[in-house]
Structure 1
Amino acid sequence: MFDPPVHTHKTVVMQRILDAASRGYCYHTSGTLPLHKAGNLAGKFAEHYQVHHNANQRAYAKRLGRASTRLFLYQRSNQDLMWWLLATHGSGQVHQLEHLDHLLDQRRRLRLEDDYEVVRVTRRREHGGGTVWTWRMTHICYAQWQERVNQVCRGNDALKATQMLGSLYRTPGFSGVRRQVGKLTALARRKWRRYHGDLSQFQLPPKLPYLERLPDTTVALSVLQQVNHLHMPT
């Protein structure tokens, strides 16, 4: 029986999804479901789409022109999971039975709730050039940050502004998000100077951190379900 790993840290599952995208897993569908139903979903995807296959089996499928699939699970809360099913080009039931969107379809981007979405961007020449997959804030999320910047900078609480920027700097440091954080920081500086004349009280965090490669932090689905069952009220 397929007992899939469940990611427990948001940034890690975001990294692994980008890993898959860079390896040709360019079709996707996703959803949320209660923890106790995740086993049925994983079993269905294993039976019909072979999401449980290892790297050698996927490589063999590629040589035969067949699609490979990956299933990513993320524990959003004690009761709920988010899931993403990704697939490559090729023949297979996943393209027949699932309504899959392409990662390049701007109307159907792969998302993590309303906060982040996967996009393909041009990398700066000093960073190697070419194009890469990355995460960025969705339009909704970015607009919310813009409004928060405007509201805080209109006030006269320098500590609140510093705390806001600290929260902004703690967003996942993918290259697409970093660019947006830079723009929002510049906006905050302009707004603070506009309303307060100078930046003497405006304190930026020391440095916008780069995102390093993070190790897997997963728990088997069966273990999560067992723990959740033990903690359910009687």
Structure 2
Amino acid sequence: MSDLKVFRYKTTTMQRIQRNITKGYIWYTSGIVASHRALKLVEKFETLYLTNLNKNQRNYRKFQGKCNTRLYMYPDPDSKNFRWWLLATDGKGQVHELEKLQLVYDQKYKLQWNDDYEIVRVSKAGKSGEVITWRMTKKCRDAWYRRIQSAIRSKSDDEMKQTMWSLHRVPGFSEVRETVKKLKTYTEKEWKRSRRSKTKCTHITQFIPYVRHPDARDYLLSLLVKRMNLGLPPFPRNDIETPRIKKMTLEAENV
């Protein structure tokens, strides 16, 4: 039976997608699949597009002028669905014939992570050529400006603290970090204007973590599907799960 490794963390999945784009996987299609159909979709893509090949097999196909493909999935928050991204390289292959593929950085059809992040090509000082990275979508940026403004005007320290905590947990890709810096500058100005005080907002953290070596822990898709069918969160949480939930997880693994 076909299966797929799913990274535990969103940032890790985003980094792997980004990394493969830099290696030539510049075509994509994406979508949402219900958890009970996810394994069938994996099997379909393996059969049609050979998404499960190893490194040597991929190199041989490239040598033959054929395309290679990769599939990534991640649980959609607060639902029993998975988001999926099918990537492909240039070359001959059924994926180019059967799927409506788009360039990952096409101006109209950029590869996106939900409505929050999108793949872009940007020029960086001191680097030759363009860099592939993630940035916040306009919708996401606007939502952050509204959230910060609302938190400041609420005059609630708890809400402000939670907002800044969330802001500093966004994936630290280079263009995302640039947006966070602008949001922090906006926060400082809006704080002074709204509070009419010289006191600085103490909830702003100066450090924005980079994405370097994110946690590469992964789980089989089949286990995540079983957990979701039991009404459990997709990924195991050994630090907080009760003995009853741990027992249910063990039973799911052995089904």
Identity of aligned residues (%): 38
What corresponds to 2:73 in structure 1? 73
Consecutive unaligned residues of structure 2, counting only runs of 5 or more, are 233-255
What is the TM-score of this pair, normalised by structure 2?
0.83
Amino acid at match of 2:120: V
What corresponds to 1:202 in structure 2? 201
What corresponds to 1:16 in structure 2? 16
Instruction: Say if 1:6 and 1:73, in contact at 8 Å, map to a contact too.
Output: yes
Equivalent residues in 2 for 1:40-79 (5 A)? 40-77=40-77, 79=80
Task: Kindly provide the CA deviation profile for residues 97-124 of structure 1, in whole angstroms up to 9, marking residues without a partner as x.
Answer: 0000101211111111111111111223
Q: Note if 1:143 corresponds to 2:154.
A: no
What corresponds to 2:102 in structure 1? 101
Q: Distance in 1 between matches of 2:14 and 2:110?
A: 14
Equivalent residues in 2 for 1:173-188 (5 A)? 173-188=172-187
Classify the secondary structure of the residue corresponding to 2:20. Answer: helix
What corresponds to 1:90 in structure 2? 91
Amino acid at match of 2:123: T
Instruction: Say if 1:136 and 1:174, in contact at 8 Å, map to a contact too.
Output: yes
Consecutive unaligned residues of structure 1, counting only runs of 5 or more, are none
Classify the secondary structure of the residue corresponding to 2:48. Answer: helix
What is the TM-score of this pair, normalised by structure 1?
0.90
Instruction: Say if 2:69 and 2:86, in contact at 8 Å, map to a contact too.
Output: yes
| Shift in alpha-carbon separation, 1:191–1:69, aligned structure 2, 3 A | same
Amino acid at match of 1:136: R
Classify the secondary structure of the residue corresponding to 1:3. Answer: coil
Q: Distance in 2 between matches of 1:179 and 1:188?
A: 14
Q: Note if 1:119 corresponds to 2:114.
A: no
What corresponds to 1:39 in structure 2? 39
Equivalent residues in 2 for 1:1-12 (5 A)? 1-12=1-12
Amino acid at match of 2:217: T
Instruction: Say if 2:32 and 2:82, in contact at 8 Å, map to a contact too.
Output: yes
Q: Distance in 2 between matches of 1:54 and 1:84?
A: 19
Task: Kindly provide the CA deviation profile for residues 188-215 of structure 1, in whole angstroms up to 9, marking residues without a partner as x.
Answer: 1111222233441411224222222123
Q: Distance in 2 between matches of 1:76 and 1:160?
A: 25
Q: Note if 1:171 corresponds to 2:148.
A: no
Instruction: Say if 1:122 and 1:130, in contact at 8 Å, map to a contact too.
Output: yes
Task: Kindly provide the CA deviation profile for residues 162-219 of structure 1, in whole angstroms up to 9, marking residues without a partner as x.
Answer: 4322221111111111010011111111112222334414112242222221232221
Amino acid at match of 2:180: V
Number of paired residues? 230
Instruction: Say if 1:162 and 1:202, in contact at 8 Å, map to a contact too.
Output: no
Which shifted more, 143-152 or 38-47?
143-152
Classify the secondary structure of the residue corresponding to 2:73. Answer: strand
Which shifted more, 19-28 or 5-14?
5-14
Amino acid at match of 1:189: E
Q: Distance in 1 between matches of 2:174 and 2:59?
A: 29
What corresponds to 2:246 in structure 1? none
What corresponds to 1:216 in structure 2? 216
Classify the secondary structure of the residue corresponding to 2:132. Answer: strand
Q: Distance in 1 between matches of 2:222 and 2:162?
A: 39
| Shift in alpha-carbon separation, 1:156–1:20, aligned structure 2, 3 A | same
Report the alpha carbon displacement of residue 14 of structure 1 after superposing the two structures with TM.
0.6
What corresponds to 1:160 in structure 2? 159
Equivalent residues in 2 for 1:125-136 (5 A)? 125=126, 128=127, 130-136=129-135
Which shifted more, 142-151 or 17-26?
142-151
